[in-house]
Amino acid sequence: MTRPAAIGDTLRRAAPSLAAVRRRRADWAPLLLLLPTTISLGSVSVYPILDGLWLSLHNTTLATREDRFVGWLNYRLLATDPDFWSAWRHTLEFTAISTLAETAIGLGMALLLVERFTGRGLVRAAMLIPWAMPTVVTSKMFGWLFDGQNGLVNWVLRSLHLIGGNIDWYGSPNTALGTIIFVDVWKTTPFMALLLLAGLQTIPHSLHEAARIDGAGAWQTFWHVRLPMLVPILLIAAMFRALDAFRIFDLVYVLTGGGPADSTEVLSTLTYKTLFSALEFGYGSALSTAMFATEALIALCFGVLIVRGMRRQGR
């Protein structure tokens, strides 16, 4: 018997178990590869949510070291807490106005950017600046721009004779929330515009061409061709923005701290103060659960709209 043949026989007999070993390793591979992620997300995102729900049923207060099970008491207190409802209203007001403004202005920017023109790359690059800045820096930057005494905005508006005297933009309860909304629009609109731009570019060009050949002008093309196709993208982008806006914290905490006179207190700043100033971890957890529930409701409303919009398009 020749050597190669003997070796060949041995290999062929060994081959099935080699494949079996490789198959067994391949079965474990996905689980092993996903293990670090699972541990990380499980311990940092999933466990605290459950622990928070459990905490909300206790009167845990770090200052007095209380920790008794109290059932629904926190939620009953929440339902009659004027601070909670005021923050809830502010948060919804902020979410609605900023999402609408950012979607509308973002759409305008996207429509501009979808056309080819010299310097388009520069414009797109510039639009990333607001997104890249830490929100804390943005807050301080606009704190200086909108400063009641020496801010640039007051000086420009007075020079243009649009206002008579200095306005204490974020020091006065009437204008503080509006100032916060303005800063958020500045920071987030460019990002929305880029998302909508991506959506716009998925619309087949043949549709534009057909409309143009039929003699449609720019406005008609927009209203009857682009806009209907944009609706699902607009709704999805608006939903993500709304959910994000609902959670606003950095901007409010740094620019106004929730004031003046609680006029800009939003749910996350109220919860933060309840947790870390008043050290009421039980009540604070109930607050954040109520916040989570409202957010889920908003997501549900958007979800229904999106599904209905897609169904109407026959997708």
Partner 1 sequence: MAEVGRRRSGAQNGLFLLGATAIVLWSSGPFLWQISTSFQLDRALVSPTPSLIPHPFILQHFLNIFLVKHFQFYILNSTIVAISTTLLCLAFGAMAAYALSRLKMRWRFGLLGFILSVSMFPQIAIVGPLYLLASVLGLLDTYMVLVIIYLALGLPLVIWVLFGYFQTIPEELDEAARIDGAGPFLSLLLIIIPLSLPCLVTTGLLAFIAAWNEFMFALALTSTIAHQTVPVGIANFTNLYYVPWGDIAAASVVVTLPLVLLVLFFQRRIIEGLTQGAVKE
Q: Give dist(CA 253, CA 250) in Å, integer.
A: 5
Residue 52 is a binding residue for partner 1 (CB under 8 A): yes
Q: Which lies closer to partner 1 via its Cβ, residue 128 or residue 312?
A: 128
Amino acid at the residue 170: Y
Q: Answer yes or no whether residue 201 interacts with partner 1 by CB under 8 A.
A: yes
59 binds partner 1 (CB under 8 A): no
Choose, by CB under 8 A, the member of 6, 14, 20, 128 that binds partner 1.
128
Told to check if 15 binds partner 1 by CB under 8 A, we report no
247 lies in the site for partner 1, by CB under 8 A: yes
281 binds partner 1 (CB under 8 A): yes
Residues 61-90 that bind partner 1 (CB under 8 A): none
> Least separation, in Å, of the C-beta of 7 and partner 1?
18
**In angstroms, how far is CA 314 from the centroid of its own chain?**
29
Check: CB of residue 174 under 8 Å from CB of residue 246: no
- When the beta carbons of 141 and 231 are compared against partner 1, the nearer one is 141
The nearest distance, CB 86 to partner 1, in angstroms, is 17
Q: What are the CA-CA distances from residue 50 to residues 47, 135, 293 (Å)?
A: 5, 29, 14
Q: Quick check: 309 binds partner 1 (CB under 8 A)?
A: no
Residue pair 242/298 in contact (Cβ under 8 Å)? The answer is: yes
Q: What six digits make up the tokens of 247? A: 């959670």
* Span of 3-11, 70-78, 82-90, 272-280 interacting with partner 1 by CB under 8 A: 272-280
167 binds partner 1 (CB under 8 A): no
Half-sphere exposure of 111 (CA within 13 A, CB side): 15
Distance of closest approach, residue 166 Cβ to partner 1, in angstroms: 11
Residues 177-196 that bind partner 1 (CB under 8 A): 186, 190, 194-195
95 contributes a contact to partner 1 by CB under 8 A: no
Structure tokens at 246: 């609902």
Facing residues of 61 across strands? 66, 280
Query: If you search the block for the tokens 């999402």, which residue do you land on?
Result: 99
**CA 231 from centroid of its chain's CA atoms:** 19
**Considering the rule CB under 8 A, would residue 288 count as an interface residue with partner 1?**
yes
Residue 213 contacts partner 1 per CB under 8 A: no
Q: For residues 289 and 292, what is the distance between their CA atoms, to the nearest angstrom?
A: 5
